[in-house]
Amino acid sequence: MNCPSTPAGERNKKPITEALHPVFSSSTGDVLEIGAGLGQHAAAFAIAFPELNFWPTDPSSYHRASIDSWQQTLALPNLQPARSLDLRSANWHTKIAKAVHGKKFSAIICINVLHISPFAATEGLLFHAGALLKPGGLLYVYGPFKLNGTHTAPSNNDFDIYLRKRNPEWGLRDISSLKKIAGSGGFCLTQVKHMPANNLSLFFTVI
């Protein structure tokens, strides 16, 4: 397979698929992926969960081309063409709702995005994702996070410093601040699952 991928994505796609399995294996409908990057997760999920229809998005045209190369190479019927979505845009949710003709998603997934984007992207996700989900729908967020102001591992502290040097608006987010915003956005944090390499899976459910 010559489609673009990252070593980290190759390593984490199996544990993430396993984390999603309890919900996704018994779900049908549509799943929106935000910040889908090169598309390797979207392709893996489309194969693992054939009853679900995946809508990958990314603000980068380079990444969208990569996502579409996975779709074209694997000819997956349940992987839609990549769309542009920037969480910092005030109307990202209304644009997506229009693009899918108002249909509601069973789940929204966002993997390794919130620490590599300004905090406005985190706010945009948690304030507006609920409007796109069916009642009881899932918002799944994966990545490294702080717990009550503390890093969960020294390597996460180093990573946070590295990110903030690259861009002062980037950095690991704290779960307590995510929970507050999620509450305003109509979500409840229903599960926190520890993942390999000091990452976490966060499961938010529409209240």
- Residue number with the smallest Cβ distance to ligand SAM: 37
**Cβ of residue 58: shortest distance to ligand SAM, in angstroms?**
5
Beta-carbon contacts of 135 under 8 Å, excluding residues fewer than 6 positions away, are: 206
Nearer to ligand SAM by Cβ, of 86 and 174: the residue is 86
Beta-carbon contacts of 142 under 8 Å, excluding residues fewer than 6 positions away, are: 12, 16, 19, 109, 110, 111, 112, 195, 199, 200, 201, 202
Nearer to ligand SAM by Cβ, of 67 and 182: the residue is 67
**Cβ of residue 61: shortest distance to ligand SAM, in angstroms?**
10
Nearer to ligand SAM by Cβ, of 7 and 135: the residue is 7
Nearer to ligand SAM by Cβ, of 106 and 112: the residue is 112
**Cβ of residue 155: shortest distance to ligand SAM, in angstroms?**
16
Nearer to ligand SAM by Cβ, of 1 and 135: the residue is 1
- Chain residues binding ligand SAM by CB under 6 A are 6, 9, 34-37, 41, 58-60, 63, 85-88, 111-113, 116-117, 121
**Cβ of residue 54: shortest distance to ligand SAM, in angstroms?**
13
**Cβ of residue 42: shortest distance to ligand SAM, in angstroms?**
9
